[in-house]
Structure formats: structure tokens, C-alpha cells
């Protein structure tokens, strides 16, 4: 290696040093530590006690709340992710038409991405308020005798959270819009000449051409939905997981185990089970994607 090349290499390492240190100290190190901790009994203050597979065995065989939280999270993933993708894609397709007021619509639809945090969750609590909230007032107005109690009802607490997530997903249209604008116009022109209906065009041109974007959103969306829990912490009274544990999501249960009960080893085992679940689902997605994701220029 020449002196110049060596100097460039050293400079390069120095530039990425902040990331490299951060990776070791805040990602890789903690992950290894967490893997080790998952085989121990540990409460931060006392010494770690090696217990082997005990935590994992307990989780799978004798912890009902673990399965409840896994079920709740699965339920949320199953509904929130597809509905979110459909919402974003639908809005993007509508916005991609030559329609007056586009700029105003784009601004409005981006609003959910801006309005976040505790403030908005408190707003939703008020919107879903069983007695005085506008949703139930409206439902009573159109003749529903006993509208749902939403966050106070085990059956309706999760649907309420999914409705909230769809509202938030509206802001996701931006990524689809960028993808849509990359679809060659001549495909639609040819389809128009053949007299294909808008729905037919959507299914035969838009979806295949957008499949890489949809795939990206599916991977990231599923991973994010598996980690959904902060809203439940704020929305459910006292952050305990709502009525009859109906909003005890996986992350919320892990949070309780770690920072309420200080069972750090047990919670670490939960974290690793989650990581494995996400990895398996992502790998499956990549495997299945070969059948439906279409990349332009790819020889088939």
C-alpha cells in the first residue's frame, strides 16, 4: 500500500470512528451482554446468577401473560401493517391524478406525520372518550344504542389503537408517491388505448411496478409493528396494559418485567425471542418476495 493510500485509509477510519465506537458501545456490546443476561437471573444491583435456559423455559411453559402479549402484538401486526400500506398507497394513487388542490391535500395528508408524541395520544383518548368523545356521540346520533367503550373495553381497545395507527399511516404516502412518479407513463397510455379500467390498471401496472416500495414498507412496517407498545403505555390507565390485558403488547410486558420488576435476565430473554421472531419473518419475506416483487431491468 502506498503512503498516500495508507494515509487515506487512516483518515477514513478516523472519520467513521464516531459510528464505530457507537456501534461497539451502544449496539454490539449491549447485544452480546443482553444475550448473556438472558441466561441469568439479574436485577442490576446484585450479581448475575447463571440459570441456563430457565428464563426461556419459564416464558414458553408457565407464563400466560407472555402468550397474551404475543397474541396482542400479532393481532396488531396482522391488521395495522396491511391497513397502513393500503392507506398510504391509496392516498398516493389519488394524489397522483391531475386533480385541483393537490398541494393542499399533500399538506393535510402529511399532518399525521407532524402531529406525534404524548399530546396526540391524549387527543385520541379524548376522541375515543366513551361518554363525551365525538366518535361515540356520532355513533349514538346515527342510532347505535351502546357504542363501544373503546379503551375501557377489552374487545375494542386494540381496534381503537389500529384506527389510530391508520391515521398515522396516512403520512406514509410520500414514499409511495415518489415510487408512483417513477412508473413509466407509456404503460398507462397503452392500457388506456386497450380500454383497461382504472382498477385493472392499478392491479396490473401500479402494484407490480410499486412492488419494491411495498416490499420495503412491509419489511420495515412489520418490524416496527412488532415493537409497538409506547402508545399502549400512555393510553392504558397506569400503563398496565388496559382492560383484561387487552393492550398488553410484547414490548409493554417486557418493559414491565425490566423496569417495574427489575427482572433484567427474564426481560433480556424476551428481547431475544423478539429479535429471532423478527429475523425469521424478515427472512420469510425475502424468500416469498422472489415470487411477487418485480425489479425493473431484472431478467426473469
Q: Cell for 31?
A: 447485544
226 versus 245: smaller Cβ distance to another protein:
226
In angstroms, the CA 153 to CA 134 distance is 17
Nearest to residue 151, comparing CAs of 251, 254, 246, 250?
246
28 versus 53: smaller Cβ distance to another protein:
28
How is residue 41 annotated by DSSP? E
Question: CB of 42: closest distance to another protein in angstroms?
Answer: 8
Question: CB of 259: closest distance to another protein in angstroms?
Answer: 7
98 versus 300: smaller Cβ distance to another protein:
98
Phi first, then psi: what are they for 229, rounded to 5°? -170, -25
63 versus 230: smaller Cβ distance to another protein:
230
Question: CB of 75: closest distance to another protein in angstroms?
Answer: 18
157 versus 177: smaller Cβ distance to another protein:
177
In angstroms, the CA 166 to CA 184 distance is 29
| Whole-Å CA distances, 49 to 145, 193, 271 | 57, 73, 19
Calculate the CA dihedral of residues 240, 245, 251, 254 and round it to 10 degrees: 70
Question: CB of 21: closest distance to another protein in angstroms?
Answer: 6
Question: CB of 10: closest distance to another protein in angstroms?
Answer: 8
Amino acid at each position: 500500500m502506498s503512503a498516500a493510500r495508507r494515509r487515506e485509509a487512516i483518515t477514513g477510519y478516523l472519520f467513521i470512528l464516531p459510528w464505530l465506537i457507537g456501534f461497539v458501545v451502544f449496539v454490539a456490546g449491549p447485544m452480546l451482554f443482553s444475550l448473556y443476561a438472558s441466561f441469568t437471573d439479574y436485577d442490576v444491583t446484585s450479581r448475575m446468577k447463571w440459570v441456563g435456559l430457565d428464563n426461556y423455559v419459564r416464558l414458553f411453559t408457565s407464563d400466560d401473560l407472555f402468550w397474551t402479549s404475543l397474541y396482542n402484538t400479532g393481532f396488531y401486526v396482522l391488521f395495522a401493517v396491511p391497513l397502513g400500506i393500503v392507506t398510504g398507497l391509496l392516498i398516493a394513487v389519488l394524489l397522483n391524478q391531475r386533480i385541483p388542490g393537490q398541494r393542499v391535500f399533500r399538506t393535510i395528508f402529511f399532518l399525521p406525520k407532524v402531529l406525534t408524541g404524548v399530546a396526540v395520544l391524549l387527543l385520541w383518548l379524548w376522541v375515543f372518550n366513551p361518554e363525551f368523545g365525538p366518535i361515540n356521540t356520532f355513533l349514538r346520533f346515527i342510532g347505535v344504542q351502546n357504542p363501544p367503550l373503546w379503551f375501557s373495553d377489552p374487545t375494542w381497545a386494540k381496534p381503537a389503537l389500529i384506527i389510530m395507527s391508520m391515521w398515522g399511516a396516512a403520512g406514509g404516502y410520500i414514499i409511495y408517491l415518489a415510487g408512483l412518479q417513477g412508473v413509466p407513463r407509456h404503460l398507462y397510455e397503452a392500457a388506456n388505448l386497450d380500454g383497461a379500467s382504472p382498477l385493472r390498471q392499478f392491479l396490473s401496472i401500479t402494484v407490480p411496478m410499486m412492488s419494491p416500495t411495498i416490499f420495503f414498507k412491509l419489511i420495515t412496517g412489520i418490524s416496527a409493528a412488532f415493537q409497538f407498545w409506547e402508545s399502549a403505555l400512555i393510553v392504558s390507565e397506569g400503563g398496565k396494559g388496559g382492560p383484561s390485558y387487552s393492550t398488553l403488547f410484547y414490548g409493554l410486558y417486557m418493559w414491565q418485567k425490566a423496569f417495574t420488576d427489575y427482572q433484567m435476565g427474564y426481560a433480556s430473554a424476551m428481547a431475544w425471542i423478539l429479535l429471532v421472531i423478527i429475523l425469521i419473518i424478515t427472512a420469510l419475506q425475502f424468500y416469498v418476495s422472489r415470487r411477487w416483487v418485480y425489479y425493473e431491468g431484472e431478467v426473469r
